[in-house]
Amino acid sequence: MTTHTFKHLTTEQVDAFWLNGYLVLENFLDSTDVTTLRASIDVLTDWINTTEHPSFQVEPESKNCENTVIRKISSIHTHGGAPWDQLMRRDDVLNVMEDLVGLPVQFHHSKVMMKAPYDGSKKEWHQDLPQGFVTQTEADRLRQLGSDLTPEQVPVLAIQYYLDDATLGNGCLQLVPGSHRHGLFRDPLDESLIDARQVVPAEISTGGALLFHCLTWHHSAPNTSPLLRRGPVFEYMAPAHGVDLTQNNFDDGWGQILRNGV
Ligand SMILES: O=C(O)CCC(=O)C(=O)O
């Protein structure tokens, strides 16, 4: 019998990812990484307060009258400069991706999801795949396949890094294990699909990371606490099978090969 040697993850972690559609990696970033990335977001926040750009999304219903409250910074790997570009290409990150989706590992997109104290709004239940990854026509076709659309056909996944402790109070991600095997649904997901007993909150400490598949059902609640939650997300992919990912809303390096087969 041959056993596969993975580069970063254990066999149990790889199996758990494909079984559940997500995986938690505690202590993935060290305190220097966290400090550097937080400092970069602070600089960007000052800039965003005086600049309008389609990549910057603010909280429309903010209660904070003094400052712009940022909800999302798209394409952080370009707006944020060196620390983010380095994060995108880190060997340990690419090792994780290679372990899960194989080679070549390609870049998909990046963003920072912010949940400001008391102001951070919810993100509806959704799957990432219909959110600009494919055309409407392709999404319609894939929905017809039901659970015959397998997650292995679309090896696209996100890694969200936590620059603060993520808790239910400040709007951590919540996921439904195994939902990546149910096929593709309308976006956002109809909440009647969600069985509250199956929902798992991803309460993850600062420095931890969450991997989730682009078909996994997930959402985050509003931040009802005084504590900020910053969660940069980078998505990666390997070639899809029977799914057209090429017509999408992403530029800024989409499809760039970050690690090739040797
Ligand atoms: O961080 C969040 O609140 C939501 C993130 C998310 O749903 C996503 O990246 O797809």
CATH code for position 105: 2.60.120.620
- Phi, psi torsion values for 45, nearest 5 degrees: -60, -45
What is the predicted pLDDT for the residue at 257?
97
User: Among 40, 43, 42, 68, which residue's Cα sits nearest to residue 56?
Assistant: 68
Q: Give mean pLDDT in consecutive 10-residue pieces for the chain, a chain of 262 residues.
A: 85 98 98 98 88 86 79 95 97 98 98 96 97 97 98 98 98 98 98 98 98 98 98 98 96 95 67
Pocket test of ligand 1: the residue of 111, 173, 210, 228 to mutate, having most ligand atoms within 8 Å of its CB, is: 173
For the CA atoms of 196, 190, 13, 86, what is the dihedral angle to 10 degrees? -120
How far is the centre of ligand 1, averaged over its atoms, from the C-alpha of 217 (Å)?
11
How far is the centre of ligand 1, averaged over its atoms, from the C-alpha of 4 (Å)?
32
Cα angle 20-22-25, degrees, rounded to a multiple of 5: 130
User: Among 30, 26, 34, 72, which residue's Cα sits nearest to residue 53?
Assistant: 72
Domain assignment present for 61: yes
Q: Are 248 and 138 in contact (CB under 8 A)?
A: no
What is the predicted pLDDT for the residue at 94?
98
Domain assignment present for 42: yes
- Using CB distances shorter than 6 Å, the residues near ligand 1 are 113, 123, 128, 158, 171, 173, 218, 220, 231, 233
For the CA atoms of 124, 191, 167, 118, what is the dihedral angle to 10 degrees? 50
CA distance 236 to 234: 7
Q: How many folded domains does the chain comprise? A: 1
- Looking at ligand 1, which atom is closest to the CA of residue 128? 10
Nearest residue (by CA) to ligand 1, atom 10, is 128
CA distance 160 to 182: 23
Q: Are 105 and 94 in contact (CB under 8 A)?
A: yes
How far is the centre of ligand 1, averaged over its atoms, from the C-alpha of 171 (Å)?
10
**CA distances (Å), origin 8, targets 121, 164, 202:** 34, 24, 21
Nearest residue (by CA) to ligand 1, atom 8, is 128
How far is the centre of ligand 1, averaged over its atoms, from the C-alpha of 76 (Å)?
14
Nearest residue (by CA) to ligand 1, atom 3, is 220
How far is the centre of ligand 1, averaged over its atoms, from the C-alpha of 113 (Å)?
6
Domain assignment present for 64: yes
Nearest residue (by CA) to ligand 1, atom 9, is 233
- Looking at ligand 1, which atom is closest to the CA of residue 122? 3
Domain assignment present for 262: no
Q: Kindly give the interhelix angle for 31-48 and 82-89, rounded to the nearest 10 degrees.
A: 130
Residue 170 amino acid letter? N
Q: Are 64 and 120 in contact (CB under 8 A)?
A: no
Domain assignment present for 256: no
Q: Which domain holds residue 57?
A: 11-153+164-230+238-251
Residue with tokens 């620390």: 83
Strand partners, 106: 237, 257
Cβ-Cβ contacts under 8 Å for 48 (sequence gap 6 or more): 56, 58, 68, 70, 73
Is 0.85 surpassed by the pTM of this model? yes
Domain assignment present for 23: yes
- Looking at ligand 1, which atom is closest to the CA of residue 171? 3
How far is the centre of ligand 1, averaged over its atoms, from the C-alpha of 212 (Å)?
10
Instruction: State both tokens at 27.
Output: 């202590």
What is the predicted pLDDT for the residue at 88?
98
CA distance 144 to 184: 8
Domain assignment present for 5: no
Domain assignment present for 242: yes
